[in-house]
Amino acid sequence: MGKSDLPLNGQTALVTGASSGIGRRFAAILAAVGAKVVVAARRTDRLAALVAEIEGEGGMAAAVELDVADPDSIAAAIDAAERAFGRITILINNAGVADVADATDIGLAAIDHMTTVNLRGPFLLAREVARRLIADGAPGRIVNVSSIVAYTYDGHVPVAYYAMTKAAIVRMTEVLAVEWAKYFINVNAIAPGFVVTEMNQEVVEEKGVALASRRARGRLTQPANLDSTLLYLVSPDSGYVTGSCIRLDDGQMPR
């Protein structure tokens, strides 16, 4: 296909938590299919390298600093994104944090931080993007990143509060989809299982074979394995899909 024929040609996507892991992959794949991509995170040095990589592949990208825990930073990042590429039509709410601790031990600071980053931040981002789309009478796509632990939890890794925030993201997706349906803003979510990223690379190197052997399909999920679901949810093909959360765990967890 020529560049003008790419599926997301003319769209502007904002990807949060884009400095590493799933967010970095999502930004690259959106740019590869024609979107102008604004990559956002606190670690701007990493964003510069991602922008250079996307541009080297013929895509369009810009970096903005964003701390999703800071409401002023959210507004400033969206303003900067619009100055770079115009109205945001796709939001990928990917930024998040986890704290491993038993529910009886986790500190209040960690609880507040996860609430702020994993729930309040994505809500404020979605709201601000939606406000601007509604004001312009334009449709849009919002994809929130939840987790399989929103649905199933065995307690082997103690992340109860993280699981609670990710379950809240699923409900946020559902209620915002209903409120914004009349504006043709589709709000959906994905719930990945364990995905190999640089954050867990050390664990994978040490225990990857054992981890894979416990999976029904004997394999681990890579960020690229999420590409097709992401692209479906931001494409015209999913026009009638809103308020849904797609589980992407390769059958890792029980139902």
Residues in the chain: 255
Confirm whether 183 is a catalytic residue: no
DSSP track, 38-65? EEEES-HHHHHHHHHHHHHTT-EEEEEE
Within 10 A of 218 (CB to CB), how many other CB atoms are there? 9
Residues ≥6 apart with Cβ < 8 Å to 176: 126, 130, 142, 187
Angle between helices 21-32 and 44-56 (to 10 degrees): 30
Angle at 213 between CA 211 and CA 217, to 5 degrees: 105
* Contact in structure between 245 and 188 (CB atoms under 8 Å): yes
Beta-carbon neighbour count of residue 133 at 10 Å?
22
Cβ-proximal residues to 116 (8 Å cutoff; 6+ apart), any chain: 68, 69
- Which helix or strand (DSSP H or E) is residue 90 part of? strand 90-93
State the catalytic residue, choosing from 162, 183, 232, 240.
162
Nearest to 246 by CA among 176, 179, 178, 188: 188
Q: Which of 153, 143, 156, 134 is nearest to 193 (CA)?
A: 153
Q: Which residues are catalytic?
A: 162
